Amino acid sequence: MGKHIRLIFVLWIIILSACNSTDLSENASSDGNNSTDEVVLRIMDWSDSVKDIREEFHEQFMEKYPHIQIEYTQLTVDQYKNTIMTAVSAGEAPDLFPIPGGMQLEALVEDGWYQSLEPYIDDEFKDLFVDGTFQNGRTMINDEIYSIPEAAPMPSSLIFFNKDLFELAGLDPEDPPETYSEFREYAKKITEAGDGKFYGMIEGGEQVNRWTEIIRDWSSLAGSGINAHSPVNLATEDMSYDTEPTLHVFQLIKDIAEDGSFHPNTMSISAPEARALFGQGNAGFIVQGPWSIGVWNEENPDLNYGVMAPPVPDSGRKGSIPITSSQPWIGLSAGSKHPEEAALYLKEFYGGDFFQKARTEKGDAYSIVKGINEEYLVVEQTNQYYDLVQEYGRQIPDPIIRKPEVAVVFNEFQDVSPTPGDILGGVVAGASEAEPLLATYSEQLETAWTNAINAAQTNGTDVSMEDFIFPNWNPMEDYTSEDYE
Amino acid sequence: MNRKIGWTLIHIPLILLSFLWIYPFLWMVSASFKTDTEFFSNGLRLIPASFRLDNIKRAWNVANFEQYFMNSAIVTAAVILIVVVITATCGYALGRYSFPGKKIFIAILGASMFIPLEFSMIPIFKLIKEMGLLDSLLGLILAESGGGHVLFVLLFASFFRQIPKELEEASIIDGCNFLQTFWHVGLPLAKPIIGSVVIMQFVWTWNSFLLPLVLTLSSPENRTLAVGLYSLQGEHVVDWTGIAAGGSIALVPIIVIFILLQRYFVDGMAGAVKG
Amino acid sequence: MSYTISSTRTKRSYRSSTNRKITLWCWLFITPNLIFYALFQGWPILVNWYYSMLNWSGLESSQTFVGLSNYKELILDTYFWNAYKNSFIFMAGTVPLQLIIALFLALLVNSPRLKFASVYRTIIFIPVVTTASIIGIIMVYIWGADGAVNYILLRLNILERPINFLADPKWAMFTAIIIFVWKNVGMNMIYWLAGLQGISKDLYEAADIDGANKIQTFFYITLPQLLPIGLVITLLNVAGSLKVFDMIKTMTNGGPFFATDVVSTYIYRYAFSSEMGMPRLGYASAAAIFFTLTIVIFAVIQVIVNKRTNAKGVTKIE
């Protein structure tokens, strides 16, 4: 009996101590509030490739403003989405948090997630950013700024190649392949030279979004008109995802897979693993975003690599890599009790002496703050990446900028699965045939999109299919603000 | 004699199989000493080039080890106690007695065990908030103790069913009531089940991630170790060696608990059943 | 004197008052668990059942009641049925293996003749606690084209060309099953060990006196005695394998091309991983509820069939 009593006793002690500890901490924080006006600023996001710089920034910030305590939580994209939806729905949102991927600012503002930044920021702050950063529908609602982009929009579909492996395969590292045939040939030669030690190409094939990037951007370079702004094909002005340029990219990837040029682990690894293996010299090519550069330069200082544009059809380039408009990122919670301090944070984050510079120097991303890229882009590959994007990328029209109301259609839209990214992954694994699946996808997308437009119209929004079509779009030219007129 | 040799020789295949069996675990431990480069380049090798402690130090700091370890320990201990008490009593009643409502109770509990709702945090989060326990360890403990525990209840129930009636009757003759009979006769016999429930619940609660993450969003001081270690995992950059190091140190308590509790699964109550 | 209804007490009034008392005690004993169930599982299930009839992206302002249309869409989605089928294949593949291997190991390490049994027990248990994300990474290499498994199979001339097991549409499910079994056998072993302790030593002594050999003892004493707990362990494995998520997510993410997509990964994708367009929490809830509902219907049919064909009734909790 005595033993059991002890057990219960221990249980109670633990429960009591749990209660006590919370009481104590509550007391402590409220005491702190009274005496020094200490403010706890809660921030949550997923930008992990600069975590060390971010943390240093926070330390500097807290040193400069000792009354502000920063609580920073960083999650993966999926995890973030789950967490933030739960938190917001229970009225427990952090002070500053980004817009989850796939969601529209307008819908979130209407739902009471964010508040306008206008009362807390001045013209000097707004003036920090490059033109085009603030656009109605994307980062602004009714001419008021609600959200600030993290960095300049940048495709993540360029190719990094290993120069040393080029040489081992008897290829000229200064003359990377340009066309589909050349690219396939190079991958094959590298694979042959590797003889099981290294391969032509590696991808984080387990992640569908990596295949999505490839199919969207590479096929656009061949003139497909697929883009990330809306499901509507800019070239065909409908939902065609099975046109010739797209199928061509599928064929190319399929050929490379059938040649055995993909690293055999491609389909079972994630993008960070693929990046690490490329850094180890296990593959000739990898399709990745600019953030990889900072990682390689840190982890694999001996890696001798370059950047190249995605290959174009043998008949030549017929389009451009689509560059999106500035995408919203961080915003101020509607329920934030410390908007002033949050604004101060944003001011230091974008305008301060440290973060934007350090990040650009690391070669992680391109800043949206004026003058930073020009001065602090010091990493060779980051510059090359930038130049290639200037050459091969073009601004594409954004239906939301032309008419912010169309955001309603996105809220009503129910994505169709399997996506072209799923299908491309399936092709590489030898599990699916592209053409029939893409035809089905196009059909189902047509239905889903028509339903979304109908639903938006039923809600009283004045939208139609016309709002997603841009007759004056030229795939070889930037779509500028004048073109929207 | 032959048999004795047989029982000795059996160790040779067993040792070999054991090695293969825990190879991934050994690899994880060895990865906690490797550099990031070595982690991938030296692929499947178990002996690290050097025994650096950087990863362990980093994981220790990033995961806020000292503080979060205590939280994990408190939460896990409290959850285990709650779960053992509520499932043992429940299993005892279900296993030994027939009473009105029992079948419906089992049916409802049993039906819910198949539902994959781990991602559905919103109702639980709101409930804890309504109870005013959002940023406290108590809220976390209650939420972690939540659920039907169907498996544990059934384990207890099926165990208690087997106990001979005579034991109980003896205790009733001694003047014990229902609760006392459970306490003096049922519970001591159920040690093997208690042991497995403790281990299983320990593993679950100790590694539980989503619930503690969501429930401590605005009170990082209450986070558990699993949540702390998660910050080594990023969207673009993953600190593998850090994860391996964190994973390895976080496992130590579970393995210790396992070794300590082992005797409950093997020493057995078989003798005691005789009365 | 006994608490059970079959008691031989003669005075009805006394009996019914005792019964009432016992019923009261029983309910008192199950109430704590009932409360925890109701709050943290029953309530969320009800809420999700309601969600499942909404077109809901997670925003408070965008909930529209759509009745059963999520269910209708679900039933028409071939990929849902693919995930559904995969969940059952996964269950059918893992449960028997886990049960048998774990029982074998439990008998082995339970044997008083085996030295260092506690070391082996710990070793068998270790995969249970090894971090899922690490297992995901290392299994990709061990089962990869240049990994240890292929190396051995090529050496033994079983394979001609290496196979990347987790990325091969024909092999991915099989490999996922093997890895899942490996990870969970240790837990099953513990349950079996607990069950073995419940068997009275008298029975073994009696068998010994009767001259039964090892195999006879196992089939005529151990196995029948383990049956009740065995049913519980089976149920436990069935539920665990049907809800599998972490392992699949880290090892294959449901791929290649949905070859290992199970209901949990399907739900997760609709709830949180949409690339263009809002999350579909209502639809995800519908998938969870529908999946569970069909399992419960299977179970009920099973029970009815059992009762009809087998009047005796197999060992049950009731």
pLDDT (tens digit, 0 to 9) for every residue of chain A, 485 residues total? Answer: 344 545 444 444 444 444 444 443 444 444 434 445 789 999 999 877 888 899 999 999 999 999 999 999 888 887 888 889 888 988 889 999 999 988 889 889 988 999 999 999 999 999 999 998 999 989 999 999 999 999 999 999 999 999 999 999 999 999 999 999 999 999 999 999 999 889 999 999 988 889 999 999 999 999 999 999 999 999 999 999 999 999 999 999 999 999 999 998 898 888 988 999 999 999 999 999 998 998 898 888 999 999 999 999 999 999 999 999 989 999 999 999 999 999 999 999 999 999 999 999 888 889 999 999 999 988 899 999 999 999 999 999 999 999 988 988 988 888 888 999 999 999 999 888 899 999 999 999 999 999 999 999 998 999 999 999 999 999 999 999 889 87
C47 vs C289: CA distance, rounded Å: 11
**Region for residue A398 given its phi and psi (left: phi exceeds 0; alpha: psi -120 to 50; beta: otherwise):** beta
Look at domain A158-324+396-484 and name its CATH class: alpha beta
Q: How many CB pairs under 8 A join A and C?
A: 133
Compare CB distances from C199 to B165, B240, B270 and report the shortest one's residue: B270
Residue B174's domain spans which residues?
63-273
Domain locations in chain C as residue ranges: 85-276
Compare CB distances from C278 to A103, A419, A430 and report the shortest one's residue: A103
Beta bridge partners of A264: none
Structure tokens at A446: 């047509």
How many structural domains are present in chain B?
A: 1
Compare CB distances from C256 to A207, A267, A411 and report the shortest one's residue: A267
Chain-centroid distance of CA B247 in Å reads 15
A54 vs A109: CA distance, rounded Å: 27
Q: How many CB pairs under 8 A join B and C?
A: 293
Look at domain A37-153+326-389 and name its CATH class: alpha beta
Q: Which CATH number does the domain housing residue B242 bear?
A: 1.10.3720.10
Asked whether residue B21 is domain-assigned, the answer is no
Least confident among A381-395, A467-481, B164-178, C245-259: B164-178
Pair B115, B137: CB distance under 8 Å: no
Asked whether residue B76 is domain-assigned, the answer is yes
Q: CA of B211: which chain A residue's CA is closest?
A: A83
B223 vs A24: CA distance, rounded Å: 16
What are φ and ψ of residue A158, in 5° steps?
-75, 165
3-state SS of A209-231 is: HHHHHHHHHHHHHCCCCCCCCCC
State the pTM of this model.
Answer: 0.88
Chain A residues touching C278 at Cβ < 8 A:
102-104, 107, 410-411, 413
Cβ pair B120:C318 closer than 8 A: no
Chain B residues touching C196 at Cβ < 8 A:
268
Structure tokens at B199: 């281990």
- Which of B147 and A356 is assigned the larger pLDDT? A356
Helices (H), C52-114: 69-76, 78-110
A69 vs A59: CA distance, rounded Å: 10
Q: CA of A409: which chain C residue's CA is closest?
A: C277
Cβ pair C201:B270 closer than 8 A: yes
Chain C residues touching B25 at Cβ < 8 A:
126-127, 130
Pick C85-276's CATH classification: 3.40.50.2300, 1.25.40.10, 3.30.9.10, 1.10.3720.10.
1.10.3720.10
Chain A residues touching B40 at Cβ < 8 A:
273, 276-277, 279-280
Asked whether residue B75 is domain-assigned, the answer is yes
Q: CA of A414: which chain C residue's CA is closest?
A: C277
Q: Where in chain A is the domain with CATH 3.40.190.10?
A: 37-153+326-389, 158-324+396-484
User: Tell me, what's the ipTM?
Assistant: 0.86
**What is the distance in angstroms between the Cα of C276 and the nearest Cα belonging to chain A?**
5
Chain B residues touching A11 at Cβ < 8 A:
78, 81-82, 85
Pair A338, A41: CB distance under 8 Å: yes
Largest CA distance in chain C: 80
Quick one: DSSP state of residue A130? P
